[in-house]
Each structure stands twice: as C-alpha cells, then as structure tokens.
Copies of this chain bind each other. A is one copy, B any other.
C-alpha cells in the first residue's frame, strides 16, 4: 500500500512481502504502529514488496521510509510467516485488495520489528495510521495479530542483545531505565536488585547532576558509555 501504482510483476519477487512490527516506546508506554487497509475498515502492519534486485533488509528499510519517514530505525528480522494458498482463496473476501494485489496475495512474509520513540515518528500517510496499545488492538488482516505476538516474544528474548537503552533520553535515572525494561517485559523487578545488576556492568556513568522536579527525592542522573554498552551487548546483558 505504499505504492500509487501496482508494481510491475517482473520487477518484484512474486508471493513475497516484508511486514514490520514497529514498536513505539514513549513515556513508558509500549505501542505498535498500524495502517488502514485501503478500501476496508480494517488495519494492517506496514507491508511492502521486495524487488528482485534488492535484499530483504533493504526492502524493509525502503518500506519504513515510505510509511513513516524514518530512516535510522533499529530494525531486526525476527520470523518469516507463510500461509498456504488455499486459505486466502477460501472466502476471505475482506482481504481482497482494492489496490496492489501483490501485497494482498503474498504467501511468504518476512517479519521485521523496529523500536522507536513514537514521540519522534510522523508517519507520512496521515489519517490512515494509528499507534495502538498492544493490549487493545483492532481487527487486523493477514494474521497480523499472530505477527505482533511473535514479534513481542522475539523482542523479549532478544532484549539482552539489543541496544534498547538508545530509547532513553541522554540523561536518565536508574528508575527510568528499570521502567523501560519493565514496560517491554511486562513484569516488575525488585528495585534494589535491578540497580545492583545495572551497576555490575560498566557502561553506566553517574553524572554529578541530579534529576529535579521529582516529588520526594532528587535521584542521580546517569548516561551511557556506548562503546562499553556495545561490547556488553556482545555477551548479552542479563536482567
């Protein structure tokens, strides 16, 4: 749905598409970006075609740029989905496309997830997108509920290897970092144990400043030494 004209068949890999689960994190909320399927009252994940001349990762990058205007997103391939041809032939007429049959009929879809601060994203398809709470999704086409569930599971498993701390502002409190992990993992950590764990890595630098404006305390601010952080990610950060 990112193309005004249907792609010429010879230019694209038939039956294959890329889907992107774009996780947005902002103010300790985790959401996912959905697009309106043209001509139907239903939603899909951003989906795009793959040119024969390009790699799938580049297809995903192109598609995200077209739909969201973002080009520096952390993008991770996580799972490839397939559906048997009979299935969409058997009366799922609401999936019949009003445009771009290529994308509607794809049998194989390579799933990527992305992590962004959704305060920064201005999707370029105004009026036809929404950031949705993961716990409260609308009807989705193409088994995209399953895709989102699989992406969330993959994100949680990958968390120890992902530079998610990049989603934090330049200066943050340990409590804010804990909240980031708690939001994505949907569970709580003991404050003391979590802080002890964080401090056992050497990628956090304590700043002389404190956070002001908090009700009772003025907690210390920290920043990340990204060289040390990247090398810690090589081995995996426990949580």
Contacts and interface: CB of A to CB of B under 8 A. Distances in A.
Interface residues of A, number: 27
A217 to B, nearest CB: 33
A66 interface: no
Interface in A12-63: 13-16, 50, 52-57
Interface string A72-83: 000001011011
A107 B59 CA distance: 13
A80 B83 contact: no
A157 interface: yes
User: Chain A interface mostly helix, strand, loop or mixed?
Assistant: mixed
Chain B CB within 10 A, most for which of A77, A80, A84: A80
A84 B59 CA distance: 11
A110 interface: yes
A79 B77 contact: yes
A16 B56 CA distance: 12
User: How many identical subunits does the complex contain?
Assistant: 2
A85 B53 contact: yes
A84 B108 contact: no
B50 A108 contact: yes
B50 A82 contact: yes
Given A16-B108, A108-B108, A157-B236, 15 more contacts: A14-B14, A14-B15, A16-B16, A50-B82, A50-B108, A54-B84, A55-B82, A55-B83, A56-B80, A56-B82, A56-B108, A77-B79, A77-B80, A108-B110, A157-B158
24 contacts: A13-B15, A13-B16, A14-B14, A14-B15, A15-B16, A15-B52, A16-B108, A50-B82, A50-B108, A52-B84, A52-B85, A52-B107, A53-B84, A54-B84, A55-B82, A55-B83, A56-B108, A57-B82, A77-B79, A77-B80, A80-B80, A80-B110, A157-B157, A157-B236
Interface of A: 13-16, 50, 52-57, 77, 79-80, 82-86, 107-108, 110, 157-158, 161, 236, 238
